[in-house]
Amino acid sequence: MRNAALITVLGLAALSTSACSTLKGAAIGGAGGAGVAAATGGSVEKGAAVGGVGGAVVGTVVD
């Protein structure tokens, strides 16, 4: 369940950061990851870290 939620957040981050820089992607991904972790009962810190890294990667690739 958590993997599916994480993949969804990273996909949404990829779509929403299509014109953003690495830092904006990391911020959006971190917020999304923290939200998913909180909603699924996981570690908010770990969710934010994973989401932030994913968002940074997307921001770098797209930018």
Rounded Cα distance between 56 and 26, Å, is 4
DSSP string, 6-61: HHHHHHHHHHHTTT--HHHHHHHHHHHHHHHHHHHTS-HHHHHHHHHHHHHHHHHH
- pLDDT for 26: 79
- pLDDT for 18: 53
Residue-by-residue pLDDT tens, the chain, 63 positions: 566 666 666 666 666 655 557 777 778 888 888 888 888 888 888 888 888 888 878 777 766
Place of tokens 């971190």: 30
Rounded Cα distance between 26 and 21, Å, is 9
